[in-house]
Amino acid sequence: MSEYFGNIKTGAVTIATGMGITLKHFFNAVHRKGDAGLDDVDYFRQVDGLCTLQYPHETIPTPANARYRLNNDIDDCIGCGQCVRACPIGCITMETVKVAPDDLGACGKTRDGQQKKFWIPVFDIDVAKCMTCGICTTVCPTECLAHTPVADFSEFDRSNFIYHFGNLTRLEAEAKRRKLADIQAKAKAEKEKKEEEN
């Protein structure tokens, strides 16, 4: 019998305690939970207050060294194609056109002074496929390919996930290709002429 009344008493007391806790949280919902960090002495004292982060409007910034969306600094890219070969899932597509000798100045140099020898009309990264493994960034000789801290880049259309980094428009690329073909044809003709002369 004493167990029976004991149970009732325990029930009543625990329900009252629980309701007290929920009501305290209910009235504390007018302010934010404190933002003291883990190494702060107050860290375990900030139990009350809202903890919701209204995500698209408020974000916790990603660290500066975070490795998320892949980015290519095309000005430094020499078009070697090592990243294309290194990528385990093939999310990088690259097309290169050799630079004609008189265009070398226009094509320019990388930041550390290396002469660029390829135009890169197509450098597409499918960031939806990219799994941020970072292998492409380790093989990149000029370190132009790097993961950026940008983590949120959702799109409504899947085709928008293909990021274009090429440094030539399609028309320009066509012009450069023709120019190169002309030079090569001329060189070939000269070579044949020489052979005939010999």
CB of 24 to other proteins, least distance (A): 9
- Contact call for residue 154 and other proteins (CB under 8 A): no
The amino acid sitting at 138 is T
Distance CA(188)–CA(183), nearest Å, equals: 8
Supply 104's token pair.
Answer: 């070398």
From first CA to last CA, the distance across the chain in angstroms is 122
For other proteins, the closer of residues 29 and 189 by Cβ is 29
Query: Contact between 33 and other proteins (CB under 8 A)?
Result: yes
- Site stretch for other proteins (CB under 8 A), options 20-28, 68-76, 101-109, 145-153: 20-28
Task: Show Cβ contacts of residue 49 under 8 Å, excluding neighbours closer than 6 positions.
Answer: 28, 29, 31, 32, 33, 34
| Among positions 6, 9, 13, 19, the unique one binding other proteins when judged by CB under 8 A | 19
Binding mask 48-77 toward other proteins (x if CB under 8 A, else -) reads xxxxx-x-----------------------
Strands, E assignment, 6-81? 70-72
The answer for residues whose C-beta is within 8 angstroms of residue 9's C-beta and 6 or more apart is none
Minimum gap (Å) between residue 65 Cβ and other proteins: 31
List residues near other proteins by CB under 8 A: 4, 8, 15, 18-19, 21-23, 25-26, 28-29, 33, 48-52, 54
